[in-house]
Amino acid sequence: MDLIQDLSFIHLILNASILVQLVMGLLLLVSLMSWLYIFLKMFTVRRAVKQSAAFEDEFWAHADLNQLYQKAKTAGENAGSMERIFSAGLSEYAKLKKKSNVDNNAVMDGARRAMRATYQREMDHLESHLSFLATVGSVSPYVGLFGTVWGIMNAFRSLSNVGQATLAHVAPGIAEALVATAMGLFAAIPAVVAYNRYAHDVSRLASRFESFMEEFSNVLQRQQ
């Protein structure tokens, strides 16, 4: 009964060496940050997909670009990524169109550059924290393994002071060392799954934005 109590999860953590405890604390902190970014990214990507779909439907249903532009400007920070790309392109197109010494090709190039710049900013926002999840997913198992190796080394070093080594002497040290590996996997697995999922979703959004920029450029081209 005492052995079971000594091998409880909390007891193993509290009685681990200082270095192993630091490794466990680091992995716990990283895991909590990963879950925070996972939920934040989930809401961000879902909102971006929903806003893009709604704006595309409205864009192809309305012939009045100025009305859409005013609606996007009124939305301000609540506007979706595709709305901001549309607003940047139409705004630059209107500014250049007012200048008499600018030919049509330069007007279109300016509108495309404005949309491309806004596109890059929106993608930077959507891809934020993905690199952190990728780093956690790739590094956490090795950090946990480092804690495990160190704990096992201490467990075997402690046997030098014991005349006859038994499982009761070795088990607690090895068990507390393996906790570090378990915590490393606990931090890494959700981060890897979330990174792959959101990287795929962001890539699809990027393709959607690029297709819209080309289609909107064609609309502006026809209006010249």
Phi and psi (nearest 5°) for 99?
Answer: -85, 125
pLDDT digits (tens, 9 = 90+) for 79-120: 889 999 999 999 998 888 887 677 888 888 999 999 999 999
Q: What is the pLDDT of residue 5?
A: 44
Whole-model pTM: value is 0.81
Q: Tell me the mean pLDDT in the region 33-52.
A: 94
pLDDT digits over 71-81, tens only?
888 877 788 89
Q: d(Cα 119, Cα 124) in Å, to the nearest integer?
A: 9
CB atoms within 10 A of CB 39: 11
Domain count within the chain: 1
Question: Length of the chain in residues, anyone?
Answer: 224
pLDDT band at 2 (very low <50, low <70, confident <90, very high): very low
d(CA 153, CA 80): 54
Whole-angstrom CA distances from 158 to 117, 126, 162, 178, 199 are 62, 51, 7, 17, 46
SS3 state of residue 1: coil
Torsion over CA: 34, 40, 46, 49 (sign): negative
Q: Closest by alpha carbon to 48, among 116, 120, 122, 118?
A: 122
* pLDDT tens per residue across span 176-219: 778 888 889 999 999 999 999 999 999 999 999 999 999 999 88
Please give the Cα distance from 193 to 35 (Å, whole number).
12
pLDDT for 162 equals 61
Contact partners, residue 34, CB within 8 Å, separation at least 6: 132, 133, 136, 187, 190, 191, 194
The fraction of the chain above a pLDDT of 70, given in percent, is 86
> At residue 38, what are phi and psi to the nearest 5 degrees?
-60, -45
Cα 43 to Cα 21: distance, rounded to the nearest angstrom: 33
Nearest to 27 by CA among 195, 185, 193, 194: 185
Domain membership of residue 58 as a residue range? 2-222
